[in-house]
């Protein structure tokens, strides 16, 4: 990482694609600033005002301030020419030349999987995040869950990764070390403490205008081998992330939902239009990504002998004293739990593989 790398990103008139173009022409940031006016305007076909800004080295003062800022806040800037820069991200045509990272930089180069979805998460979405991440954590070495630390599916995915001792990376749409939303500051701290990282392409002197969320989504998609949409309405940022993933030739997956749920309209549409592969388990994801690494005991944690259930789920499971099916009404009489909460708990037991639903709204212990 050189001062020229930061200065390049802070040169007025140069955007992300302009920087990528210059790097393709000259090789690295030092060579760009060493280029003559004729080379910048002729060979690189830069507009005259931008070429003059580069020749004046007008971004260097800001770059020096940024380096001091990063040192004060334990932020590591990484240039696309650095060995630590994630290889998957460098593949896309609009990669950010500099990433700002807090935490474990190595987390950016694992087996990365993006998990995104609606902010209005349902109990079903919570259970799916926890279940899928838990299954994958026992089977995929160096797994990293990538998301955006937003409300809903994003933070549920991060929390599921932390719960299952799996690294997770949060890509933010604001400069570090600020956390947005501020309510997730404690989760951000846990992400770093558990071996994950916080990432942003925005330096501290960025003028925030609320327009960086969509560009943040491209980084979530590009950092990952595949993207899973857990829950989504007909529109929203998670579908934009899925579109980025598809454009970058990543594998797009979606979890199906009930046809009358608003938060499943987007995911069901992705599946119906064959823009995403239907996934309901870790096995589906592993097959879609071709992540079948075999069973090396040195790489994988041992699968727990019993499912990881919440206290309420375990209590409900205890009501199934025999293999005989029980109806929803019978379960209500046994537990006193209302129908809505019962349904959520039963979904959790189904996802855990210990209960199966039968015709007639009956359930059987497996």
- The model's pTM: 0.79
Domain 311-365, architecture per CATH: Orthogonal Bundle (1.10)
CB 330 within 8 A of CB 336: no
Whole-angstrom Cα distance, residue 161 to residue 155?
Answer: 10
Q: What is 197-263 written as a DSSP string? A: EEEES--TT----S--HHHHHHHHHHTSSEEEE-S--SSSHHHHHHHHHHHTTPEEEE----TT-GG
Question: Which pairs with CB-CB distance under 8 Å and at least 24 residues apart come from 190-195?
Answer: 190/162, 191/103, 191/158, 191/162, 192/102, 192/103, 192/104, 194/161, 194/162, 194/165, 194/167, 194/168, 195/103, 195/104, 195/107, 195/167
Whole-angstrom Cα distance, residue 242 to residue 285?
Answer: 15
pLDDT in tens, 254-313: 999 998 899 999 999 999 999 999 999 999 999 999 997 665 434 444 444 456 788 888
Whole-angstrom Cα distance, residue 353 to residue 117?
Answer: 24
Given the candidates 3.40.50.450, 3.40.50.1100, 3.20.20.140, 3.40.50.20, the CATH classification of the domain at 105-289 is 3.40.50.450
Other beta carbons within 10 Å of 119: 16
pLDDT in tens, 3-42: 999 999 999 999 999 999 999 999 999 999 999 999 999 9
- Range from 123-137, 239-253, 303-317, 318-332 carrying the lowest mean pLDDT: 303-317
Tell me what the mean pLDDT of segment 347-359 comes to.
81
Whole-angstrom Cα distance, residue 354 to residue 123?
Answer: 18
pLDDT in tens, 68-127: 999 999 999 999 999 999 999 999 999 999 999 999 999 999 899 999 999 999 999 999
Mean pLDDT of the residues in the chain: 91
Residue 156 has what DSSP assignment?
H
Q: What is 40-78 written as a DSSP string? A: IIIIS---HHHHHHHHHTTTHHHHHHHHHHHHHTT-EEE
Question: Which residue reads 């933070």 in tokens?
Answer: 155
pLDDT in tens, 54-64: 999 999 999 99
Tell me what the mean pLDDT of segment 213-242 comes to.
94
Residue 332 is predicted with a pLDDT of 86
Residue 304 is predicted with a pLDDT of 43
Higher-confidence residue: 188 or 294? 188
Res. 176: pLDDT tops 80: yes
Question: Which residue reads 């770059």 in tokens?
Answer: 63
Proportion of the chain in helix, strand, coil states, percent, rounded to 5: 45, 15, 40
Res. 343: pLDDT tops 60: yes
Task: Tell me how far apart the 2 most distant CA atoms of the chain are, in Å.
Answer: 83
Residue 108 has what DSSP assignment?
G
pLDDT in tens, 138-150: 999 999 999 999 9
Q: Which helix (H) or strand (E) holds 170?
A: strand 167-171
Residue 104 is predicted with a pLDDT of 96
Q: Which helix (H) or strand (E) holds 271?
A: helix 265-272
Q: What is 6-30 written as a DSSP string? A: HHHHTSTT--HHHHHHHHHHHSSHH
Tell me what the mean pLDDT of segment 194-216 comes to.
88
Residue 223 is predicted with a pLDDT of 97
Q: Where do the structural domains in the chain lie, given as residue ranges?
A: 1-72, 105-289, 311-365
pLDDT > 90 in the chain, percent: 73
Residue 295 is predicted with a pLDDT of 55
Residue 293 is predicted with a pLDDT of 66
């Amino acid at each position: 990482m050189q001062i020229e790398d930061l200065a390049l990103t802070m040169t007025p008139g140069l955007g992300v694609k302009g920087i990528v173009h210059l790097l393709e022409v000259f090789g690295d940031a030092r060579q760009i600033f060493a280029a003559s006016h004729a080379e910048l305007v002729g060979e690189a076909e830069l507009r005259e005002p931008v070429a003059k800004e580069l020749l004046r080295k007008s971004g260097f003062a800001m770059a020096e301030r940024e380096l001091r800022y990063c040192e004060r806040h334990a932020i590591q800037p990484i240039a696309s020419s650095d060995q630590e820069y994630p290889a998957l991200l460098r593949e896309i045509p609009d990669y950010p030349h500099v990433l700002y990272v807090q935490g474990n930089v190595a987390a950016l180069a694992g087996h990365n999987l993006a998990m995104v979805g609606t902010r209005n998460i349902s109990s079903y979405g919570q259970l799916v995040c926890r279940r899928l991440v838990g299954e994958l954590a026992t089977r995929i070495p160096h797994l990293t869950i990538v998301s955006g630390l937003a409300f809903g599916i994003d933070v549920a995915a991060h929390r599921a990764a932390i719960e299952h001792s799996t690294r997770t990376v949060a890509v933010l749409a604001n400069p570090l070390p600020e956390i947005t939303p501020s309510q997730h500051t404690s989760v951000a701290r846990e992400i770093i403490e558990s071996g994950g990282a916080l990432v942003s392409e925005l330096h501290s002197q960025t003028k925030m205008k609320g327009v960086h969320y969509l560009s943040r989504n491209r980084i979530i998609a590009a950092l990952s081998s595949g993207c899973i949409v857990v829950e989504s309405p007909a529109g929203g940022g998670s579908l934009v992330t899925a579109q980025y993933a598809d454009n970058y030739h990543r594998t797009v997956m979606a979890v199906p939902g009930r046809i009358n749920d608003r938060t499943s309209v987007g995911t069901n549409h992705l599946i119906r239009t064959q823009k995403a592969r239907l996934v309901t388990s870790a096995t589906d994801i592993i097959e879609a990504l071709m992540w079948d690494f075999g069973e090396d005991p040195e790489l994988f944690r041992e699968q727990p002998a019993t499912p990881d259930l919440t206290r309420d789920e375990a209590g409900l499971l205890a009501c199934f004293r025999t293999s005989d099916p029980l109806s929803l009404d019978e379960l209500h009489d046994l537990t006193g739990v209302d129908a809505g909460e019962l349904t959520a708990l039963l979904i959790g037991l189904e996802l855990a593989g210990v209960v199966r639903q039968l015709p007639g709204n009956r359930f059987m212990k497996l």
